[in-house]
């Protein structure tokens, strides 16, 4: 791959991850808001088809886990790029490894943040329903 192609691929991968993550984040926040509105309105909402527990297990939890998996895969792909590139110049190869590690920080941080946020949501749900 020429010198211009690789940075474009890395930036495209990072842009795709950020764009998808922001979409996940918006959806997760909307579901969380809905859950806590229902809790404030009717607690467990036993008479409703979808109460807060059902929304959590069918929407919020799968979205959060899916986003963590997605970000972890993006991180893995970015970190594995140097192994698949054939760069003769050792200095350029080292620069590529460093660049990939730096670029992978964002999706790794995102995965950790969504895991912490998911744990916090679960704790808040349990506390709200007790």
pLDDT tens digits, 81-97 = 888 888 888 998 899 89
Q: Which CA distances in Å does 22 have to 11, 16, 55, 67, 107?
A: 16, 10, 20, 10, 12
pLDDT at 69 over 90: yes
What is the distance between the alpha carbons of residues 32 and 128, in angstroms, rounded to a whole number? 12
Task: Round to whole Å and give the CA distance between 96 and 126.
Answer: 45
Domains of the chain, by residue range, sit at: 5-129
Instruction: Quote the pLDDT of residue 2.
Output: 58
Q: How confident is the model at residue 111 (pLDDT cuts 50, 70, 90)?
A: very high
pLDDT at 105: 94
Q: Between 61-84 and 90-129, two packed helices, what is the crossing angle to 10 degrees? A: 170
Mean pLDDT for the chain overall? 90
- The CA-to-CA distance between both ends of the chain, in Å, stands at 58
């Amino acid at each position: 791959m020429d010198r211009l192609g690789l940075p474009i691929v890395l930036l495209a991968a990072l842009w795709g991850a950020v764009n998808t993550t922001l979409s996940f984040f918006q959806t997760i926040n909307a579901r969380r808001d809905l859950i806590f509105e229902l809790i404030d309105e009717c607690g467990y909402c036993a008479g409703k088809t979808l109460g807060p527990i059902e929304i959590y297990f069918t929407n919020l939890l799968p979205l959060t886990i899916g986003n963590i998996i997605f970000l972890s895969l993006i991180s893995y792909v970015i970190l594995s790029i140097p192994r698949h590139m054939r760069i003769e110049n050792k200095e350029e190869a080292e620069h590529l490894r460093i660049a990939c590690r730096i670029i992978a920080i964002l999706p790794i941080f995102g995965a950790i943040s969504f895991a912490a946020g998911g744990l916090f949501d679960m704790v808040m749900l349990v506390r709200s329903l007790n």
